Amino acid sequence: MQKGEVIRRKARDIERFVGMEAFMREIHRRGYRVAENSGQIVIFCNQAPVRWLTGDPVPLSSKESGPKS
């Protein structure tokens, strides 16, 4: 793919069909970018940098994340 598409695949499918190591070698060979989130792999099929528009969320304190009564 040379048009800059974005592809999403399940990580387990990549592992099952080609293996993650072979997949990552091909990503590096092509100069593509790839991100993983919750078992989903997102492939940016171009060599442009990826700029995240959101930062890491601020962690909740134990008081904020505990059960609500």
Query: What 3-state class would DSSP assign to 40?
Result: strand
Residues 6+ apart with CB under 8 A from 42: 6, 7, 8, 34, 35, 36
pLDDT digit string, tens, across residues 23-68? 999 999 999 999 999 999 999 999 999 988 988 776 766 565 555 5
- pTM, whole model, 2 decimals? 0.71
More confident of the two residues 17 and 54? 17
Angle among Cα 38, 44, 48 to the nearest 5 degrees reads: 130
Position 1 confidence tier, pLDDT thresholds 50, 70, 90: very low
Residues 6+ apart with CB under 8 A from 2: 45
